[in-house]
Amino acid sequence: MLATVLSILFLTAPAMAFDHTHAAFTKILQTRTQPKQGQTWVNYTDLKNQSRSELQAYLRVLEAFSADDFALATKPQRLAFLINAYNAFTLEWILIHHPVKSIKDTGSLFSSPWKKTFPGFKLLGQSFTLDKIEHEWIRGNFTEPRIHFAVNCASMGCPSLARRAYTGTGLGQELAAAEREFFFNPRHFKLDGKSVSVSSILDWYGGDFEKVHGSLGNYLSSKALEFGLSKEAIPNLKISFSDYDWSLNGN
């Protein structure tokens, strides 16, 4: 009996010990980012020179979280884990290539940076790419379009990088805050009469919003109503997509 109890404790200890508040990542974000130009500006220089070891220590904690641990976590904890992993590994990707003017410059003629196997790390016991995290593990398993306001591609055109880590217990409110920040930023959403200009992200991933809201138009119409457009004008709402700014969100 004692051996069985000890065995259970041993098997569940890694999952119990994992910090689902991701406090270590929040500390990095609070220290090395600041609001600027309606975007979270990352001080990549200081992150590389002064906090690289802290970031890599956090990445090793993510790496140590096994597929079995992941399966035992709650659904919000799993999604928060993946969003934080995407954002943290994107920061590390930039540091690997720093200085650089755009994340797109870190790819090659034959492979974008998002399709390159991440060097020196595994996640959930596997070699991985940033695309694998976003498209296979997140979009492939969670019907939650607001993740597009949370995952950050290190570019000025991205929804702003949250300055706190995402958590399992607060995930709903945190995604709502990311969505709200996106729509209050004229870089991403601009309403002019019956016309709305919105980030190309909503064009690229419109299908994710369609699954939840029926259509991208329905979703954007609800946001236009929030910003004061009359119900009578909604059927004639004209939607356009703005150019994407791939310049680096920091220095």
Which residue matches tokens 């910003």?
Answer: 227
pLDDT averaged over every residue in the chain: 93
Domain tally, the chain: 1
Q: How confident is the model at residue 37 (pLDDT cuts 50, 70, 90)?
A: confident
pLDDT in tens, 38-80: 899 999 999 999 999 999 999 999 999 999 999 999 999 999 9
pLDDT in tens, 4-35: 443 444 444 444 589 999 999 999 999 999 99
User: What's the pTM value of the predicted model, to 2 decimals?
Assistant: 0.93
Percentage of residues in the chain having pLDDT higher than 70: 94
Say what the pLDDT of residue 4 is.
Answer: 44
Kindly state whether residue 51 falls inside one of the protein's structural domains: yes
How confident is the model over 178-201, as a mean pLDDT?
Answer: 96
Kindly state whether residue 198 falls inside one of the protein's structural domains: no
**Which two tokens mark 210?**
């369609």
Say what the pLDDT of residue 83 is.
Answer: 99
Residue 124 · residue 108 · CB < 8 Å: no
pLDDT in tens, 112-141: 999 999 999 999 999 999 999 999 999 999
Asked if residue 167 has pLDDT above 70, the reply is yes
How confident is the model over 155-171, as a mean pLDDT?
Answer: 97
Kindly state whether residue 84 falls inside one of the protein's structural domains: yes
Kindly state whether residue 229 falls inside one of the protein's structural domains: no
Kindly state whether residue 49 falls inside one of the protein's structural domains: yes
Say what the pLDDT of residue 15 is.
Answer: 43
Q: The domain containing residue 180 runs over which residues?
A: 20-184
**Which two tokens mark 182?**
């996106």
Kindly state whether residue 208 falls inside one of the protein's structural domains: no
| Angle at 26 (CA atoms; ends 101, 173), nearest 5 degrees | 105
Say what the pLDDT of residue 6 is.
Answer: 39
Nearby residues of 84 by Cβ (< 8 Å), 6 or more positions away: 22, 25, 62, 165, 166
Kindly state whether residue 75 falls inside one of the protein's structural domains: yes
Say what the pLDDT of residue 38 is.
Answer: 84
pLDDT in tens, 192-241: 999 999 999 999 999 999 999 999 999 999 999 999 999 999 999 999 99
39 phi/psi in degrees, rounded to 5: -140, 160
Kindly state whether residue 217 falls inside one of the protein's structural domains: no
248 phi/psi in degrees, rounded to 5: -65, 140
Say what the pLDDT of residue 9 is.
Answer: 42
Say what the pLDDT of residue 52 is.
Answer: 98
Q: What is the dihedral of CA 144, 35, 91, 199, to 10 degrees?
A: 50
Q: How confident is the model at residue 88 (pLDDT cuts 50, 70, 90)?
A: very high
Say what the pLDDT of residue 126 is.
Answer: 97
